[in-house]
Amino acid sequence: MMASFFDQFASPSLLGIPLIAIAIALPWLLFPTPPSRWINNRLITVQTWFINRFTNQLMMPLNVGGHKWALILASLMVFLITINMLGLLPYTFTPTTQLSLNMGFAVPLWLATVIIGMRNQPTVALGHLLPEGTPIPLIPVLIIIETISLFIRPLALGVRLTANLTAGHLLIQLIATAVFVLLPMMPTVAILTAAVLFLLTLLEVAVAMIQAYVFVLLLSLYLQENV
């Protein structure tokens, strides 16, 4: 029983061929494309408004040099939200519950922000490792601590996204199993449990969007330190 709870996180395969590539590429096929007409439909208008608002809020603290990242950060945000939301549908696979995929997003983007800082302003980038006004005896210790915290950032990005989505999916499956078990024995308790399951599902929809936003927001904060 316990092993079956974690089967939903196993990468699907057909005839020995991994299907995770299809699960990653499918969201891009669902996005509506703007028509050639001047007047867009309601779905295109809402999508454009959301992306513009998100991009403006994300780029506001950054200087002009950081605005080059607007396209990649906005695309990553929409991509993560779509994957997380599709993963809440029954009989679907959520690629963002795989730590390897999340680290594949986090490490290169974090490393790019560090390289940009070292190339454009190495003095300022290295200055983050030592807070101003530090007592001389604490300088070696603080440099070590700040260096470790710098390299932990991509790990924290990937683990945060993986852990939140995995915990939510496990809770939904556990409560849904409890509903099916209690239904023939205690219908009243099963109905109350189903109500809790409905509220938890709404919470997971919010978590799916919030975690995608937090992932991209933290990347923009790391970029803000280095541009």
Element (H or E) spanning 2, and its range? helix 2-5
Write down the mean pLDDT value for the chain.
84
pLDDT tens column, 62-83: 888 788 888 899 889 988 998 8
To which residue do tokens 């932990």 refer? Answer: 152
pLDDT of residue 6: 64
Alpha helices in 87-186 (DSSP H): 99-120, 122-127, 139-182
pLDDT tens column, 156-194: 999 999 999 988 888 888 898 888 888 888 888 889 999
Whether 4 shows a pLDDT value over 80: the answer reads no
C-alpha dihedral over 85, 106, 23, 86, to 10 degrees? 0
Q: Which of 116, 119, 122, 141 is nearest to 130 (CA)?
A: 141
Q: What does the alpha-carbon distance between residue 130 and residue 135 come to, in Å, rounded to a whole number?
A: 10
Assess contact for 48 and 39: CB atoms under 8 A. no
To which residue do tokens 């852990």 refer? Answer: 163
> For the whole model, what pTM was predicted?
0.83
Assess contact for 107 and 154: CB atoms under 8 A. yes
The CB-side HSE value for 125 (13 A sphere, CA atoms) comes to 17
